[in-house]
Each structure stands twice: as structure tokens, then as C-alpha cells.
Amino acid sequence: MLFSSMIFLWLFLPVVFIVNRFLKPKWQNVFLLLASLLFYAWGEPKYVFLMLASIVLNWGSGMLLARAPVHKKTVLWTSIALNLSLLGYFKYMGLLVRTLNHLLGGERIEIPQIALPIGISFFTFQALSYVIDVYRGECSAQKNIVNLALYISFFPQLIAGPIVKYRDVNEQIESRSVTTEKLAGGIRRFIYGLAKKVLVSNVLAQSADMIFALDMQEMTGALAWAAALLYTFQIYYDFSGYSDMAIGLGRMFGFTFNENFNYPYLSLSIREFWRRWHISLSTWFREYVYIPLGGSRRGTARTYINLGIVFFLTGIWHGASYNFILWGLYHGAFSVLERLGLGRFLEKHKITAFAYTFLAVHFGWILFRIESMRQIWEFGKRILLPWHYTVSHYSIWEFVNRHTVFIFVCAVLGMGIIQRLAGKRAERWKLSIPELVYCTVLLLLCITALAGNTYNPFIYFRF
């Protein structure tokens, strides 16, 4: 079920919110758990049993860690292995078989057709953070399986994050309240996220998809640049919009989730970009992979190896395809270069730093968007040498109209530029009467757009 669907906006959300408000606190977690399982089962009923298996596995692991102090490490590694096995089978079995076939020189092994459960990477990482934190003693094992199940399956951030650490919400699961201010702020945040998705990302996506679908022989340099720029802003408004909606929904039900984006396209280095983009994932890898490997404490060479491992895992987390691995290592290479000395140069030249970071991220999205290595090469040539590719039967204006251009300009201004210029005035705008009118207009525009358009996928649902 999509946040940006009519059935969610007009049926699921109102019913769940109203019923939850009238329930006694002791029954709210049970009700929200059932609602979350229904939300997940709406599109893939059979995979709700996979989620239930994950819940039982990790609840049992937490209980064993609390009761068996002598064998804690065995319990921890067994739990990690089982969690990653579930993730690996559903997400990476196809990639493994393709790799083996490539090494063996032919289609020796039939490639399994395994459907990917929506959101499996997100809820698996949440479950892992719970087990690891219990092992470390950073939080107590949750004895009530309903409470832990709600943490793993809570519908606002179940499908595409943010990845919430148990220690950040365990007290809220036990006891929470919904104040008028929190409710108003949650609705406001949800509307902004919905507008990002429906009014910006969806519009840019339609043009970007049509251009990317062209035969490469018809792809001019101008078309390649247009597709890449459109996708750069499409993915930001798609994913940050979902995160805004998740955070807003959480507030409406009494939960406070950490931010997942902080205007990443204003970054002045790739290292800063990863402190601003998908913050919950980058902090997860930092806490549970980079620092345990030794971080930057074991010498320069080991630091670079650790960075390489983290960015390799970041790439493969996003998908079972070589292009995602290449995308992760691409960002890792820039992070290493910045540590080698490029970072000091960037600190002294802000304009150059901004241009470098934006272009590096922009080119990186090509690796993220295109799966075929051959197509990546051909597309990259058109990006880097556009004057060599000028002949096509198609004009850019066959894919991009005035409305798309207008939305693209709004997307550029809204990536943090307007917010920076507004400064302290933005605080006075929050929850004011003019903002109430503005949000009402946005909501009406979103509903109108959804009523007349069936194009509505979320990019990060497939991760």
C-alpha cells in the first residue's frame, strides 16, 4: 500500500488514526501492530509470514541474550547469520547464481525467480540493530513480543525507512502521547512529503523514464544530460518525500523519528553528502560496521579498507546488481580521495566544492539508475562528450514540457536554497495561518494529481 494512494489517504489512515485515538493506551500497540501487518500484507500477503518469522527470531534472540550471558556471542552471531540468510536468499540469490554462471562460462545453473519482499532490507536492519544493541547492553531485551513486533513492522517506516534504532524509540513504544502541537506538526510534515512525491518526483520521473527508455543510438548528449538531471532530483524528492511522510505519520501516532535527509545537494564534499543523505543508513553502517572494524583508529591503510568495505556494503544493500556495487565503490573512492588531501582543498574553495560534489553525485546516479555496464559506458560518453552525440530522431521537447521545466526549477530552488535564504523567517512560517492555507492547497493539488494519474511508484520500495 502506498502512502500516496487514494486507499491509504481516504480509508486506511483515517480509520487507523481515529480508532487508535479512542483506544486505551494498553491496546494501542496491539491495534497498530495489526494495522501494520495489514498494511504490509495488502500487496504481498504471503510475505507477512516472513516478517512474522523475523519478529519471532529477533524477539527470541533478545530473550536468549538476556538470559544466557555465558553464550552471548554465540547467540548474537547466530541471530545475525539467520537474519542475513533471510535477506540474502530473497535479495541476492539471483546475483549469486548469475556470478557463478559467469565464472563457469555459461548458463550452468538456472537463475531462480525469487520475488523480493518489499522493505526487507529496512526491517532486517532494524531487527539487527535491536539484537546488537541488546548484546552491547545499550538497551534491555523487550519481553513483550507485541512491542518488539510493532517496532519492526510499524507501517510509517516499514517499507522505505528511515531505519529506526530500537534504543531511540523503546520508551515511546512503552508510553507516548499525541499533543496538539505534535499532531499538527505531523500532518504538516506528511503533506510536505506527499507534495514532494506527487507534485515533484512523479512529474520529473515520467520525463526521465521516457528518455532513459530510448535506444542508445537515439540518445544525444543533451537528452542524456536532461535524463540524468531529472533523475537526480526525482530520486531526492521521491525518497526524502517518503521519509517526510514517515516522520509525519510517526508524530501523528506519538512517535518521534530521527531525520533522514538534511539538504544533501548543498553538500561541499562527498563525505558531507553522506552525513546528509539517507542519514539512518549511513549512521547504521558507521555504528555497526565501520567502527567495529576499527574505524580510523588503526592507521591510514586500514581506514581506507574499512571505508571500502562500508561503501561496498552500502552499494549492495541497495540492490542485487553490479551497478549498485559500482555506485557504492564510486562514492567510496571519492571519500578516500577527500581524506588523501582533496578535502583540504575543498574547505578553502566553497564554490568549487559545491560544483564538484553536485557533479560527482549527479554522475553517480547514472550508475545507480542503469543496470547494464554497457549502457552505463555509452550513457557516460554522452554525458562527458555531449558534442559528439547530437543526432537523433527525437527532440528533448518531446519528453519535457513547460510544466516539467517549471517543476524542475521548483525542485532546484527547494533542495535547500529557499530554506537557507529564508533563515529565521522559516520558523515564523511554521504552523502559521499562511502555512495552513499553503498546506491545504498542496493537499488539494496532490489529491487532484492522484485522481488523474496512475504513475506512482516509490524508487526505494525495491530495496
How many whole angstroms separate alpha carbon 448 and alpha carbon 374? 40
Q: Distances from the Cα of 291 to the Cαs of 128, 164, 168, 286, 302, in angstroms? A: 16, 19, 19, 6, 12
Angle between helix 221-252 and 202-212 (nearest 10): 150
How many whole angstroms separate alpha carbon 342 and alpha carbon 236? 26
Catalytic residue among 102, 318, 362, 388: 318
Distance, C-alpha 370 to centroid of its chain: 18
How many whole angstroms separate alpha carbon 119 and alpha carbon 91? 11
Tell me the longest C-alpha to C-alpha distance in the chain. 71
Q: Is 318 a catalytic residue?
A: yes
88: which 3 cell numbers?
540474502
* Residues in Cβ contact with 243 at an 8 Å cutoff, skipping those fewer than 6 apart: 160, 161, 162, 193, 259, 260, 261
DSSP secondary structure letter of residue 135? H
Distance, C-alpha 231 to centroid of its chain: 15
| Bond before 162 cis per omega within 30 degrees | yes
**Helix, strand and coil in the chain, % to nearest 5:** 75, 0, 25
Neighbours of 93 (CB within 10 A): 14
If you write DSSP's letter for every residue of 295-353 in order, what string do you get? TTSS-HHHHHHHHHHHHHHHHHHH-SSHHHHHHHHHHHHHHHHIIIIIHHHHHH-HHHH
Neighbours of 210 (CB within 10 A): 16
- With contact defined as beta carbons under 8 Å apart, do 359 and 348 qualify? no
Positions annotated as catalytic residues are: 318
